[in-house]
Amino acid sequence: ILGPSSQLNVVNAVVSPDGFSRSAVLAGGTFPGPLIQAYKDDDFSIAVVNQLVDASMPLVTSVHWHGIFQRRTNWADGTSYITQCPIPPNSTFVYCFNALGQTGTYWYHSHYSTQYCDGLRGPLVIYDPNDPLASMYDVDDENTIITLSDWYHNSSTLLNPILSAVIPNSTLINGLGRYAGGPPSPLAVVNVVQGLRYRFRIIGLSCASWFNFTVDGHRMTVIEADGVETLPMVVDSLPVFAGQRYSVVVTADQPIGNYWIRALPDLLPNTFDGGLNSAILRYAGAPEADPATTPGPYELEFNESLLRPLNNAHVPGGAAIGQADVHINLVPGLTNGTFYINDVAFQEPPVPVLLQILSGARHPSQLLPNGSVYELPPNKVIELSFPATDGLPNGAVGGPHPVHLHGHNFWVVRSAGNSSANFDNPIKRDTVSMGSQGDNVTVRFVTDNPGPWFFHCHIDWHLHHGFAVVMAESPGEAAAQESEVIPRKYLATST
Ligand code: C2O
């Protein structure tokens, strides 16, 4: 476990989390990377040290702190070619920021090309010493982290060229799993004591798959989504898309024994045979054996449009789609293995967008990449709609696509599967599924955080193949804020 002031070494190592050995790119030498843990309003100062040596994969890196808004510290957002140049080998980049009141469950990952698919992903939790949820639900333990990820036997270097060739080999839960036809590699065990209540923090570290998360014999009460506290919603299953997080309360109220934890991916291999896509919930006193439990019944389904924030705030702007200060349709397309948004495929600019702004560029006509930069005025209500218009069988041009906005979370005023909108009490989150054919998911946020912010599909392969735009929020203010003197406390010693 690392604290908010720490050193994170990015290294190559051979790992076999599912029984198959490959060279990986790892934070701190493990998969997933070490938990970064802090308290509300802590100053972060994380020195990312690039020690990469395996030239069969990229040797540069940068690290993004997913879900942290980076108010006044856009430069620390970690996005290669948006807010910084990639960190060269044998170099250190110190990320200094304060999450300014944000608490809950987050994660960090490489934001250089598709490097996080090679392993550089890990959990980040900000605890609140006066957590309203802790008292509301009286949990006995809030430290259980359950990461869900897909895993690939080939490096991203080999997988990048052809979108349709990218298929995960296995699902890892807390970094352990099995692949079809592979050895009975050890599975992750989540330990509980009968009679106690637990807050499980479920983190979607995925590069592509989304997971239907279930625990045999146990219901879950959702209390947090993407760092936002929610009113309790009791569910039997939870869809977790790449980039999304949930906290759920689970009561260990069943007979002492072993129970399957299941994360069924949308992509192959989507079976539980042989312990695929599984981990073990083990009660103290139970034998060290595989569970013999069966899935379901699944009666209570998660419904994002019914999830309510604990602290409700009416959505700014008018109470109808289109009644915001700025409305932007972001229409995805897919042609010959390349994604487009409004007919433009994102390509990395030669100079990071933030540096272009610092050099005086202000407007999309001056900012690269051409056609992928949207300028947003300050202090306005922005509404984004994502019409899933394509006629492919899965809808949404090969989706569902989980789209993520940096620098903000947003009110999901219209969720997937809904034609009506909610301006009274929708959930706020930072990653949302666009749904499928016929959906037109719509979100709102207020431009109160100057800087260029990436908006993209969190299926990392899709981002690589063009599914991204940059929201250049208040470029003039962004330039002014970057030129402020960096407070002394932010000057960390590099290694
Ligand atoms: Cu998880 Cu662009 O981010």
pLDDT tens digits, one per residue of 65-85: 999 999 999 999 999 999 999
- What are 84's strand-pairing partners? 80
Contacts of 402 (CB under 8 A, 6+ apart): 204, 210, 241, 242, 243, 244, 431, 432, 433, 434, 457, 458, 459
Q: Point out the residues that are catalytic.
A: 64, 66, 109, 111, 401, 404, 406, 456-459, 462, 467
What is the Cα–Cα distance from 162 to 78, expressed in whole angstroms? 26
* In contact, 385 and 435? CB cutoff 8 Å: no
Helix (H, G, I), strand (E, B) or coil at 387: strand
Distance between Cα 272 and ligand 1 center (Å): 29
Q: Which atom of ligand 1 is nearest to the CA of 109?
A: 1
pLDDT of residue 142: 84
456 touches ligand 1 (CB under 6 Å): yes
pLDDT of residue 491: 42
Distance between Cα 490 and ligand 1 center (Å): 23
What is the Cα–Cα distance from 198 to 133, expressed in whole angstroms? 12
**C-alpha 122: how far from its chain's center?**
10
Nearest CA owner, ligand 1 atom 1 = 66
CA-based torsion, 131, 132, 135, 136: positive or negative: negative
Distance between Cα 406 and ligand 1 center (Å): 7
121 touches ligand 1 (CB under 6 Å): no
C-alpha Rg value of the chain to the nearest Å: 21
64 touches ligand 1 (CB under 6 Å): yes
Nearest CA owner, ligand 1 atom 3 = 66
* In contact, 52 and 87? CB cutoff 8 Å: no
Query: In terms of Cα–Cα distance, which of 194, 189, 190, 187 is closest to 284?
Result: 194
pLDDT of residue 391: 54
* Helices and strands per DSSP (H, E), number in the chain: 5, 31
Contacts of 63 (CB under 8 A, 6+ apart): 8, 10, 27, 46, 48, 78, 95, 108, 109, 110, 111, 120
pLDDT under 50 in the chain at which residues?
A: 393-394, 485, 487-495
Q: Which atom of ligand 1 is nearest to the CA of 406?
A: 2
Distance between Cα 68 and ligand 1 center (Å): 10
Neighbours of 284 (CB within 10 A): 11
E strands, 278-347, where? Answer: 278-283, 326-329, 332-335, 338-341
- What are 387's strand-pairing partners? 440
Helix (H, G, I), strand (E, B) or coil at 378: coil
462 touches ligand 1 (CB under 6 Å): no
